[in-house]
Structure 1
Amino acid sequence: MMISRYSILAAATGAWVILAAAGPVLEVVQIETTPNGFTSSPRGWNSFGIQANPNTTPGFSFNQTGVLSQCDVLAKTTALKDAGYIYCSLDSGWSVGGNGDEFGRIIYDSSIFDIPSLASHLHAEGLLLGVYVVPGAFIADEAKTILGTNVAIGSVCSGDNGLARCNFDYSQPAVQEWHNSVVNQFASWGVDFIKLDFITPGSPANGVNLPPDSSGEVIAYHQAIAQSGRDMRLDISWKLDRSQKYFDIWETNADSMRTDQDINNGGASTFVSWEVVQRAIDNYRQYITTVTAYNTTLTIYPDMDNLFVGNPASVSGVTDDERQTIMTHWLGAGANLIVGSDLTSLDGLGLNLLTNPNAIAIADFTAHYPMQPRNPGSGLANSQQLQAWIAGPDASGAAVVIIANYGPDEGQGGFGTSLSGMQTISVSWDDLGINGTFDVHDVWADKDLGAESSGLSDVRDLSKAE
């Protein structure tokens, strides 16, 4: 395993020019207002990592008390709240798993949660509530009538998707009425965020029986949110199909979409492992290069999965260098900053990674200009050990550049396998597709590097690799 070394830098100048450099012409990628009206990706906390990895957080119980012990940290830690970490999101298990109410609507498990009171508590603290759902109505509810109609659920929903639910026929108007009734009830409880999981095409089977195409569910939830009268985000997952046909559906109905499968170590004593995180980073590379071939102005944010950077290496499962590298890539992508760490045990590095004012300024920038790969020596977008990325420039000439030095290529790309000496990664303005003199600031070091007219470099001591 190699520790990564990198620089994340904001570079600004009064003027810039896009060049036809060694690689393809730089086309600046932008993200505009999402379908439900948002202009940034969400920041907050989600329960899934702790639920799936209980050994990381001894004593945590997935109930109202346990969740508030985590989310109250967001409210009481000024740096987190000021940085915009306001969503408290429940993952699977908050709702009754086998049936709905008399109209087949999703209901909370009152033995562990009182959702309206949870929402009221969070709202009083300036936080927002998220809930988790999956496609379909309950098979057990097929004889029930959809609220406001005389239509039985079973007449528009059939089969078994393996999640105790049937599959909707989205061509039937009553299906939208069911979704409206569910989201209206969410709105009455005070829900602010919906995570819609197991969407196809894209989501892996994961031992269930998903239909090949449940994109109609995304459309139905979007329309239900629009008529509810309440602002709500819609985040869809897992690793979703990126073909133009389906990407058009995702970005015209959802606010963020998963670009990879789960990255946590299910059931382990640590949250993540570096090789899986690096897979998620490369999946973002594949995602952004694929979808910007259709259009460089997007209306959806990438969800690279939860951030597990808040706790020490013994709990996170990654070194401190790797934690910083993870945060760097999530920031550069303009991705969801939804923390999966144990908020009650944040260490100093974790808190700084999540709240560093310079880093949050980068997140605010990439919310409008997400990064795209422009590798050293070519300006191309392929995966390699020595990587470079650029976000922007914006109209003022400001840009964000990330250079990632992942060490020797172990014989697969000509970088060698020796673990001695120094290795330098350099990226030119030509590689990045820009030209001019830039005043460069190293964000993590909070250090001005002065004016640069040609490019950037980072040096790594290979003898310190792990």
Structure 2
Amino acid sequence: MHRLVPFLCLFILLTGCKSSEPETADSPTPSLSGPEFASWATTPPMGWNSWDSYGPTVREDEVKANADYMAENLMEYGWEYVVVDIRWFVENTKSHGYNQDNPIYVLDEYGRYLPATNRFPSAAGGQGFKPLADYIHGKGLKFGIHIMRGIPTEAVERKLPIKGADGVTADQVYTTENQCRWLRDNYTIVAGRPGAQEYYNSIFELYAEWGVDFIKIDDLSAPIYHKDEIEMIRKAIDLTGREIVLSTSPGPTPVEFAEHVDRHANMWRMVNDVWDSWDHIDHLFDVSQDWYPYIGGGTWPDCDMIPLGRLSIRGERGDDRMAALTPDEQYTLITLFTIFKSPLMFGGDLPSNDGFTQSLLTNKEVLRMHRESEDVQLIFSDGAQVKIASHNRSEDWTYLALFNREDSLSRELTVDFAELGLEGEVSVTDMWTGEELGSANGSFSRTLAPHASGLYRLE
């Protein structure tokens, strides 16, 4: 008999944790009581982002190659977004950093960035990203882009007019205060000034015309949480009438603004960039602890991109390589991301995937858990071991993930079924292998190697 649901209902009442109606494969859109935009991402978004492979240098042919691969090999598993990351509007970019000495920006007459046609040739003639978006939509996929918050420094210097704000120019809505510390393309927009909201309205009007479905906006959350600009962005997206999923970046998003970001964005970064280093993965266990109450209902704490497969072909961190994590560490990464219900944005070059990397992205039962599970709980964490559980109400299943964070010691991890609200005989299945591990009474134990994990379905 399963007794987890009453316990979780009490937990939700006491903590204010979000919840939603049960979701099954036959009814993918649960009813949501939150803001309308939450219905645009009823399950955590899944896709590919160009950053980990190409940094600020990605080209149109590379985006199309990754879209082709996704459509042929991953779309049936729920992967759908293809996202062009940073500085698509700069003609003379470079890998391993940014060209900030003499960047050649491409802007229209209203100070809005346009794709650099030497990298995105289909954008010629003022077409912008619409031809590329049409190509990706034609595959049955969705298209996304990255931008920096604020208004282009060049638009300010040239005093370009702001569309929709009669007589107002870019130099009248900006401040140098709190300019991004690591990339100097844009200035801060001052909320409340005439033309400030109109500038954000104008760029999202353009993106909606292109067919953008997803936008990642950088320098919003850390080191300063830009509340005013987030609110202007939310309003501008809503005014377009197009369902554009909003991702704020980077992290760590301050926990004191949890309620605010939850009301304005579909996903938000909990950490800075995550790369193929155990320290980065290990850190996620600690920083995620504050965010469990905010998982679900169309808004999602974000563990960052998945740095697996072939990385840094022309990337920002390191040289061209396959991910440096061990197989156990890669399983741990994917297990954490999926049971936590983080958005899944793969960063490696998809056409370069090997069989092992592909297997991590196409396990139907693991992805079903990621899509359908609810009531994610941190059961135990002591710095050496972590136990996380969630539940599939439609099947009366409990999911259990165990992690050994030790660097050199194997550990036996044990979970008492009473902690999960379970009693009686429980059958256990290893979700990564599909192996049935038999039945257990009262508790379940597993010995895990350093940095290893296990993911189990309990019935």
Where does residue 71 of structure 2 map in the other structure? 75
Counterpart of 2:419 (choices 428, 431, 434) is 431
Q: State the partner residue of 2:342.
A: 335
Q: In structure 2, which of residues 327, 332, 336 is the aligned counterpart of residue 325 of structure 1?
A: 332
The match for 2:305 is 306
The answer on whether the counterparts of 1:100 and 1:106 sit within 8 Å (CA) in structure 2 is yes
1:371 aligns to what?
Answer: 376
Instruction: Please report how far the alpha carbon of residue 399 of structure 1 lies from its aligned counterpart in structure 2 after TM superposition.
Output: 2.2
Q: What does 1:5-16 align with in structure 2 at a 5 Å threshold? A: 15-16=3-4
Tell me the matched-pair count: 400
1:354 corresponding residue in structure 2: 361
Aligned to 1:445: 433
In structure 2, the partner of 1:50 is: 53
CA apart distance, 1:14: 5.1
Deviation readout 1:408-455 (Å, 9 max, x if unpaired): 7xxxxxxxx7x5xx7421011233455555443221121233444422
In 2, Cα distance between equivalents of 1:197 and 1:434: 43
Separation of aligned partners in 1, 2:215 and 2:160:
24
CA change 1:280–1:179 in 2 (3 A) is same
Q: Which residue of 1 aligns with 2:286?
A: 282
1:154: which partner in 2? 171
The correspondence for 1:259, drawn from 260, 270, 273, is 270
Q: Mark the CA change 1:105 to 1:50 in structure 2 (over 3 Å): closer, same or farther.
A: same
Structure 2 distance, partners of 1:438, 1:275, is: 35
Query: Are 1:239 and 2:251 an aligned pair?
Result: yes
Cα displacement (A) at 1:18: 5.3
Does 2:245 align with 1:249? no
1:197 aligns with 2:218: yes
The answer as to 2:85 corresponding to 1:94 is: no
- Alignment match of 1:119 (pick from 133, 139, 143): 133
Render the CA deviation track for 1:2-38: whole Å, top value 9, x for unaligned: xxxxxxxxxxx55546569xx9999795554574222
Deviations 1:153-206 (A, max 9, x none): 222222261523222121235322211110110011111110011114xx14xx
Counterpart among 214, 228, 240 of residue 226 in structure 2 = 214
Conserved? CA contact 1:15–1:436, under 8 Å = no
- Residues 387-414 of structure 1: per-residue CA shift (max 9 Å, x gap): 2111136376432211113347xxxxxx
Q: Are the counterparts in 2 of residues 19 and 435 from structure 1 also a CA contact under 8 Å?
A: no
Given that 2:255 and 2:290 are in contact with CA atoms closer than 8 Å, whether structure 1 keeps it comes out as no
Structure 1 residue 283, shift from structure 2 partner: 1.8
Identical aligned pairs, as a percentage? 24
Q: Which amino acid aligns with 1:157?
A: Y
Q: What is the identity, as a one-letter code, of the residue corresponding to 1:252?
A: R
- What whole-Å deviation, never above 9, does each CA across 1:92-149 have from its counterpart, x for those lacking one? 1212464632112222212211221111110111111110111111232232221122
- Per the alignment, in what secondary structure is the counterpart of residue 373 of structure 1? strand
Moved more, 450-459 or 188-197: 450-459
Q: How far apart are the structure 1 equivalents of 2:440 and 2:236?
A: 51
Work out whether residues 253 and 268 of structure 2, in 8 Å CA contact, stay in contact via their aligned partners in 1.
Answer: no
Provide TM-score, normalisation by structure 1.
0.77
User: Which letter maps to 2:130?
Assistant: P
Question: 1:70 touches 1:342 (CA, 8 Å); kept in 2?
Answer: yes
Structure 2: which amino acid aligns with 1:92? Answer: I
Q: Work out the CA distance in 2 between the residues paired with 1:309 and 1:164.
A: 29
Residues of 2 paired with 1:461 and 1:324: CA distance?
12
Give the structure, 1 or 2, with the largest relative contact order (CA under 8 Å, sep 6 or more): 1
Residue 130 of structure 1 aligns to which amino acid in structure 2? G
2:160 alignment partner AA: K
Counterpart residue identity of residue 89, structure 1:
V
Question: Counterpart of 1:4?
Answer: none
**Could you tell me how far apart the structure 1 residues matched to 2:375 and 2:111 are?**
40
Corresponding letter in the other structure for 1:94: W
Q: Which residue of 2 aligns with 1:268?
A: none
Which segments of 5 or more consecutive residues in structure 2 lack a partner in the other structure? Answer: 21-31, 91-102, 124-128, 312-319, 454-459
Q: Distance in 2 between matches of 1:436 and 1:18?
A: 17
Where 1:403 maps in the other structure, the secondary structure is strand
Query: SS in structure 2 opposite 1:73?
Result: helix
Query: Bigger shift: 81-90 or 61-70?
Result: 61-70
How far apart, CA to CA, are the structure 1 residues paired with 2:434 and 2:130?
43
3-state SS of paired residue (1:371) = strand
Question: Residues 285 and 372 of structure 1 are in contact (CA less than 8 Å); yes or no, is this contact kept in structure 2?
Answer: no
Please state how far the C-alpha of 1:70 moved relative to its aligned partner. Answer: 2.0
- For the 8 Å contact 2:44–2:371, the answer to whether it is kept is no
- CA–CA distance in 2 between the matches of 1:426 and 1:165? 51
Structure 1 equivalent of residue 208 of structure 2:
187
> Secondary structure of the residue that 2:386 maps to in structure 1?
strand
Q: Is the 8 A contact 1:116 1:189 kept in 2?
A: yes
**Residues 277/141 of structure 1: CA separation in 2 closer, same or farther (3 Å cut):** same
8 Å CA contact 1:252, 1:299 repeated in 2: no
- d(CA) in 1 for partners of 2:258 and 2:14? 22
Hey, what's the Cα distance between the residues in 1 that align with 2:434 and 2:333?
Answer: 18
Tell me which amino acid in the other structure corresponds to 1:448. Answer: E
Letter in 1 for 2:415: V
Query: In the superposition, relative to structure 1, how do residues 15 and 67 fare at CA in structure 2: closer, same or farther (>3 Å)?
Result: same
Distance 1:73 1:17, change over 3 A: closer
* Mean CA deviation greater in 384-393 or 432-441: 432-441
| 1:352-403 superposed Cα distances (whole Å, 9 cap, x missing partner) | 110111111111123xx2633112xxxxxx4421221111363764322111
